[in-house]
Amino acid sequence: MIEHPANTISTLFSNEVKNRPFLIAGPCGAESKEQIMSSALFLKSQGVSLLRAGVWKARSRPNSFEGHGIEALGWLNEMRSEINMPFAVEVAKAEHVDEVLKQECDVIWIGARTSVNPFLIQEIADALNGVKIPVLIKNPVNPDLDLWQGAIERIYKSRNKQVAAIHRGFSSYENKTYRNKPNWEIPIELKRRLPEIPLICDPSHITGKRSMVPFVSQIAMDLNFNGLMIEVHPQPDTALSDAKQQLSFDEFAQFRKQLIIRKLTTEDVFELSKLEDLRDQIDEIDQEVINTLAKRMKVARAIGSYKVKNNITIYQPQRWKEIMETRTRLGMEQQLSKEFLEKLYSIIHTESIEQQSSVMSSSPKNIEANTSENQKA
Ligand code: PEP
Ligand code: MN
């Protein structure tokens, strides 16, 4: 029984937010024909538009499950003939592109270990030249927005205009909460730079644990992402890859019921005026923030002149330690987080140092010293 009607793939590329979320789901890897069939039957009934399943798995360590390759493409093809659900697989090189085109795969995605390498991306872009197949491009493993944008541009230039981006988080050595840190500012900036490219969130690879998948999906929806790609498996605990992050069918059904899709705006004029009022307050406060920062930098430049006159170094570790301690304490008393305050003050401090050094390097005393050094040389 179809409980939720699915969007067609073209609704994703028409970029209509009213059809959100465009749902892609399925196992991390295609493990057997039965697994593909049961997943597709269930996910279609849940309004999922596209079945995902990796057939070539790039693994960190050897001797792990590396996918069933062409045989698995055959299972997916049979699934589509029987169940009429489109499917997507990951490609990591030109050879994969040739294979998926033979099987008339509906959509392909490029993984994080591939988008990190412009040579591989170019190879895939060349293999796709002139071919009209939708391509979803995951962010590279490291938090490098230009690299992600570059991968999108290379594929887009191969005359393949149906391109979307998938945010799957960024690797970091010591993060315990997430498998891959979301760094939400990066996909938000990508959307600002490339507004016509639909944005999909992959909460499974961001969180690495199934209990957090609904939470991260909700954030993505509240940030106006167009869709979600979620790993779902008939028996997640025995999955051959990414067992901890895949949802069971029951968990997926529960998650679908709980996901809230908020509107972009409200039509209620009274409510809208309240929002406008709050935005006016933010505009005024930002004006004050900028004036205050400018005043602070002016004082920093005065300190720079003082230091050059008295021949002392710019960086004073004791003073910096004291600033960090007192400011984080002050801020925390007013409900600001320690992490935010530390980041904020380290940016302010770096800028102060730069402003001080520009005063010092342009001071007449320094110019004199440099000139006499040059004359000696
Ligand atoms: C995947 O989607 O199964 C996968 C390997 O993801 P990523 O490239 O994001 O690690
Ligand atoms: Mn996976």
Q: What pTM was computed for the model? A: 0.81
Nearest atom of ligand 1 to the alpha carbon of 241: 3
Task: Give yes or no for residue 179 CB within 6 A of ligand 1.
Answer: no
DSSP 321: H
126 contact partners, CB below 8 Å, separation of at least 6: 94, 158
Residue 164 has pLDDT above 70, yes or no: yes
Closest to 161 measured CA to CA, from 128, 121, 120, 112:
128
Average pLDDT score over residue span 124-150 = 96
Return the residue whose CA atom lies nearest to atom 5 of ligand 1: 111
Predicted pLDDT at 265: 79
Closest to 185 measured CA to CA, from 148, 150, 210:
148
Nearest atom of ligand 1 to the alpha carbon of 109: 2
Nearest atom of ligand 1 to the alpha carbon of 29: 3
Task: Give yes or no for residue 111 CB within 6 A of ligand 1.
Answer: yes
- Integer Cα distance of 241 and 53 in angstroms: 11
Predicted pLDDT at 300: 92
Predicted pLDDT at 364: 62
17 contact partners, CB below 8 Å, separation of at least 6: 224, 226, 264
Pocket residue to mutate for ligand 1, from 93, 120, 138, 229, most atoms within 8 A of Cβ: 138
| 29 Cα to the center of ligand 1, angstroms | 10
Query: How large is the angle between the packed helices 269-309 and 338-361, nearest 10 degrees?
Result: 40
Q: Is 353 exposed, middle or buried (0-12, 13-18, 19+ CB in 10 A)?
A: middle
Task: Give yes or no for residue 28 CB within 6 A of ligand 1.
Answer: yes
Q: Are 210 and 251 in contact (CB under 8 A)?
A: yes
pLDDT digits (tens, 9 = 90+) for 85-120: 999 999 999 999 999 999 999 999 999 999 999 999
Residue 174 has pLDDT above 90, yes or no: no
pLDDT digits (tens, 9 = 90+) for 337-375: 999 999 999 999 999 999 988 887 876 655 444 444 444
Closest to 345 measured CA to CA, from 296, 285, 287, 288:
296
Task: Give yes or no for residue 27 CB within 6 A of ligand 1.
Answer: no
Predicted pLDDT at 17: 61
| 205 Cα to the center of ligand 1, angstroms | 7
Q: Measured at the alpha carbon of residue 246, what is the angle toward residues 65 and 33, in degrees to the nearest 5?
A: 55
Residue 135 has pLDDT above 80, yes or no: yes
| 330 Cα to the center of ligand 2, angstroms | 43
Prior bond of 21 cis (ω within 30°): yes
- Integer Cα distance of 22 and 7 in angstroms: 7
- Integer Cα distance of 32 and 28 in angstroms: 12
Average pLDDT score over residue span 305-321 = 87
Residue 147 has pLDDT above 50, yes or no: yes
Long-range contacts of 31-37 (CB under 8 A, 24+ apart): 31/65, 31/68, 31/239, 31/240, 32/75, 33/75, 33/78, 33/79, 35/233, 35/234, 36/72, 36/75, 36/76, 36/79, 37/75, 37/79, 37/82, 37/83
Q: Are 114 and 135 in contact (CB under 8 A)?
A: no
- Name all domains of the chain by residue range, CATH numbers in brackets: 9-258 (3.20.20.70), 269-376 (1.20.59.10)
Range of lowest pLDDT (160-164, 184-188, 192-196, 325-329): 160-164
| 111 Cα to the center of ligand 1, angstroms | 5
- Integer Cα distance of 84 and 76 in angstroms: 11
Average pLDDT score over residue span 297-309 = 92
Instruction: For the chain, give the number of residues.
Output: 377
Q: Give me the chain's average pLDDT, please.
A: 91
